[in-house]
Amino acid sequence: MSKSVSRPAHRGNARPFRSPNVSLVRAIAGSLSGHGKLAGRITLASGIAAGALVAVPAANAAPVSHEVTTVESAPVVEAPTLEASATPAAMLTDIQQLERAVEVQQRKAEAARKAAEAKRKAAIAAKRAAEAKKKAEAEAKAFAASQQGKIERAISVASEQIGDPYVWGATGPSAFDCSGLTQYAFSAAGIELPRVSRDQAAALPTIPNDQIQRGDLMFWGSPVYHVGIFLRWENGEAIMLHAPKPGAAVREEAAWSGWFAGSTHQV
Q: Are residues 161 and 258 in the same domain?
A: yes
Q: Is 179 helix (H, G, I), strand (E, B) or coil?
A: helix
Same domain, 173 and 207: yes
pLDDT score for 143: 82
Same domain, 251 and 169: yes
Structurally, the chain folds into a number of domains equal to: 3
Within a domain: 35: yes
Measured distance CA(3)–CA(21) in Å, rounded: 22
The reported pLDDT for the residue numbered 90 is: 82
Name the domain boundary from 23, 50, 79.
79
Tell whether 27 and 98 lie within a shared domain: no
DSSP symbols for 50-119? GTTS-PPBPTTPPPPEEEEEEEEPPPEEEEPP-SS---HHHHHHHHHHHHHHHHHHHHHHHHHHHHHHHH
Q: What is the pLDDT of residues 254-264, one digit of tens each?
A: 999 999 999 99
Q: How high is the pLDDT of residue 85?
A: 60
User: Known catalytic residues?
Assistant: 178, 226, 242
Tell me, what's the pLDDT at 183? Answer: 98
Residue 182: which domain range? Answer: 157-262
Q: Mark whether 33 and 90 lie in a shared domain.
A: no
Whether this model's pTM surpasses 0.85? no
Do 237 and 191 share a domain, yes or no?
yes
pLDDT tens figures, 16-40: 444 444 454 454 445 444 444 333 3
Q: Above pLDDT 90, what percent of the chain? A: 58
39 and 75 in a single domain? The answer is yes
Q: What is the pLDDT of residues 110-167, one digit of tens each?
A: 999 999 999 999 999 999 999 999 999 998 888 878 999 999 999 999 999 999 999 9
Give the per-residue pLDDT at 232: 98
pLDDT at 175 over 60: yes
Mean pLDDT of the chain: 79
